[in-house]
Homo-oligomer: A and B are copies of this chain.
Amino acid sequence: MIKKAIAVMTSGGDSPGMNAAARAVVRTALYEGVKVYGINNGYQGMLDDDIEELTSRSVSDLIQRGGTFLGTARCPEFKTPEGRRKGFENLVKRGIEGLVIIGGDGSLTGGSLLSKETGLPIVGLPGTIDNDVWGMDYTIGCDTAANTIVDAINKLRDTASAHRRIMLVEVMGRNSGWLAMMSGIAGGAEFVLVPEVKFNIDSMCEEIKAMYDAGKRYSIIVVAEGAGSAIEIGKAVEEKTGIDTRVSVLGHIQRGGSPTVEDRMKASMLGEKAALAIISGASDIVFGFNEGKVVGVNLFEAVNNTKTLNPELVRLARVLA
């Protein structure tokens, strides 16, 4: 049972909904009569002692904002035991008895080491648009990112269909094709290239040529960055098909924007859950949503296992294309 204070931080790549999650952590803790500190700029701020107490007002007018008001940063020093020890002491001296970390795989790994070495109770929340955390089918921000990509695809369709062109759009996902697959299916893309599934560019180009001969006016190809550079693939496709090909690289646009209702709601629910859990003495858990319900996954399992792409999505992409 925590009596005094907890801290909350965001770390790694930001994702839309991190603010909603942090807001829920803060308001729930205060509602429970526990102090909350915000750690700025992730582990770097923990080392730099850049930590301040938060009030209910500190998190107002925030739920609709993209990014993270706490900031986030790389921190090589925290990768060393000495670094983690130093950060831990900055928490201890404020009477912080537990920490909620909102971030992706890498950030949660840092947290698992901090917990192992110092015994500090830690609860994680999956803040990443990649939706690649083991043991759950939802991570904070993935819905907003998928909608941002689909908005882009809608715009590409306008101009693609005017020109009989092939449009490639490169989306995030170094190791995970979830975002590409979701936005590809929802965007009505003809092909989705993901790191998890081998693809044959020659047969794809044959299919495209056949479609165009059959009168199709355009096709859209979504490429997860982990499947290769859309710019390189686009050059090859144009060469092999002889059809005008254009490429968009969305980049960090996918990380921004006001979060969707789903990301705001689920981030809020997870933030509340994380605050209640750590206050009640829990540790080494990551809370996420799976099949529509909040689930708690062991922190060490979460960071040591790799999530695989739902084959159902791969199948659906093929049937509906």
How far apart are the CA atoms of A188 and B24 in the complex, in Å?
A: 11
Q: Are A268 and B158 in contact (CB under 8 A)?
A: no
**Residues of the B chain whose Cβ atoms lie less than 8 Å from the Cβ of A3:** none
Q: Is A148 an interface residue (CB 8 A)?
A: yes
Interface string of A146-167 (1 = CB under 8 A from B): 1110101011111111111101
B71 engages A162 (CB within 8 Å):
yes
- Identical chains bound together, number: 4
Q: Which 10 A-B pairs have the closest CB atoms?
A: A155-B256, A66-B158, A292-B292, A248-B251, A158-B256, A67-B158, A291-B292, A14-B162, A159-B255, A67-B162
Segment touching B, from A79-87, A92-100, A178-186: A178-186
Whether, in the assembled complex, A175 has its beta carbon less than 8 Å from a beta carbon of chain B, the answer is: no
Min CB distance A290 to B, Å, is 7
Q: Do B31 and A319 have beta carbons less than 8 Å apart?
A: yes
A10 (CB) vs chain B CBs: closest residue: B162
A232 at the A/B interface (Cβ < 8 Å)?
A: no
The residue in chain B whose Cβ has the minimal distance to the Cβ of A68 is B162
Chain B residues closer than 8 Å to A160, beta-carbon distance: 252
B-binding segment of A57-65, A106-114, A118-126: A57-65
A72 touches B162 (CB 8 A): yes
Query: Could you name 28 residue pairs across A and B whose Cβ atoms are closer than 8 Å?
Result: A16-B158, A27-B320, A61-B188, A64-B150, A64-B187, A65-B158, A66-B158, A67-B161, A71-B163, A71-B217, A72-B162, A74-B244, A143-B262, A155-B252, A155-B255, A156-B256, A158-B256, A159-B255, A185-B265, A186-B264, A186-B268, A248-B252, A249-B251, A262-B262, A268-B320, A272-B316, A291-B291, A291-B292
Given contacts A63-B186, A155-B255, A155-B257, 9 further A-B contacts (CB under 8 A): A13-B163, A66-B158, A68-B162, A154-B257, A165-B252, A186-B265, A248-B249, A248-B251, A249-B251
Which residue of chain B has its CB nearest to the CB of A153? B64
Pick the contact of A316 from B167, B246, B268 — CB < 8 Å? B268
B319 touches A28 (CB 8 A): yes
The answer to whether the Cβ of A293 comes within 8 Å of any Cβ in the partner chain is yes
Residue from the list B27, B155, B291 in contact with A293, Cβ < 8 A: B291
Q: Which residues of B contact A49 (CB under 8 A)?
A: none
Q: Are the C-beta atoms of A185 and B268 separated by less than 8 Å? A: yes
Q: Which residues of A contact B (CB under 8 A)?
A: 10, 13-14, 16, 23-24, 27-28, 31, 41, 61, 63-68, 71-74, 137, 143, 146-148, 150, 152, 154-165, 167, 182-183, 185-188, 217, 244, 246-258, 260-262, 264-265, 268-269, 272, 289-293, 316, 319-320
A256 neighbours in B (Cβ, 8 Å): 154-159
- Closest residue to A18 on the B side, CB-wise? B162
For residue A68, give the distance in angstroms from its CB to the closest CB of chain B.
5
CB <8 Å contact, A73 and B164:
yes
When chains A and B are docked, how far (Å) is the Cα of A269 from the Cα of B313?
10
A61, A155, A167 — most chain B CB neighbours (10 Å)? A155
CA distance A257 to B150 in the complex (A): 12
Which residue of the partner chain B has the closest CB to A250?
B248
